Amino acid sequence: MNTHSQTASWKAPAKVPRHIAIIMDGNGRWAAQRKLPRSMGHRSGVEAVRRTVRAATELGVQHLTLFSFSSENWTRPAEEVNDLMGLIKRFIRGDLAELHQNGVRISVIGARAGIDPDLLALIDEAVDLTSDNTSLNLIIAFNYGARAEITEAARRLAERVKRGELEPDAITPELLGQALDTSAIPDPELLIRTSGEVRLSNFLLWQCAYTEFVFLPVLWPDFGREHLETAIDEFAQRERRFGGVVSQTAE
């Protein structure tokens, strides 16, 4: 596929999603197809992350959330988990300067418990250094699970009720949303999942109530700008109703 010629001829739709979330799936299968260790699939997946961040910035996306490591991924073999942690460390060390120079702000959502202190320090450094950047808000969902996030938000509200700061009747969807990790981030307009799998896998369950889903058969290490453009084009053709009726032909 000639990526350059496709990119040069691609005409952006009138409305590019403000916030795109991606479930980066298929690293293991990509490696298996090539008779390579899974670690090589994860390494190639990092290259896809770099391509996607650059493309999202160039296409005018304001927020990009990547599902990098779920709270369920700890059940994978220890060697694979350690390799993933090492990749994340190397990505921050090797790419932070370029991301900062390009105006990318880094945010991280997910639980901090159980994370290696050295990695937490690197994450905090990246978040602090880029906090004033405005070209793209890159949100990394790390050690993240949506059910745990919603449970923790409910627990925070319950503590406020217990302290007498909040009446139970005052709890609204908006208030619960403000207690989530993503309280300062608009809900995704578009969610992309690669590898052909068609499920959310405990990712942004609350935030994706009215998100448009695009499932692509491409494995994540092969994902590039042309695939992002394809998903945006499909999004642009959707009629978003948010539970109401927009089109006069809709019933």
Tens-place pLDDT, residues 28-79: 999 999 999 999 999 999 999 999 999 999 999 999 999 998 988 888 888 8
Render pLDDT for 230-243 as a digit per residue (tens, 0 to 9). Answer: 999 999 998 776 66
> Tokens representing 225?
């700008």
> Is 25 among the residues known to form the active site?
yes
| 2, 27, 73, 128: the active-site residue | 73
Domain range for 73 is 15-145+186-236
Residue 38 belongs to domain with CATH number: 3.40.1180.10
Spot the catalytic one: 2, 25, 116, 187.
Answer: 25
Does residue 248 sit within a domain? Answer: no
- Does residue 2 form part of some domain? no
Place of tokens 């925070």: 156
Going by C-alpha positions, the residue among 3, 5, 16, 11 that lies closest to residue 232 is: 16
Task: Confirm whether 172 is domain-assigned.
Answer: no
- Answer whether residue 154 is part of any domain: no
Tokens of 151: 């449970």
Q: 68-125, pLDDT tens digit by residue?
A: 989 888 888 888 888 889 889 999 999 999 999 999 999 999 999 889 999 999 999 9
Q: Which residues, other chains included, contact 41 with Cβ-Cβ below 8 Å and sequence gap of 6+?
A: 26, 27, 28, 29, 30, 31, 32, 221
Q: How many domains does the chain have?
A: 1
Residue 60: inside a domain:
yes
- Is 219:29 a contact under the CB 8 Å cutoff? yes
Q: Does 241 map to a domain?
A: no
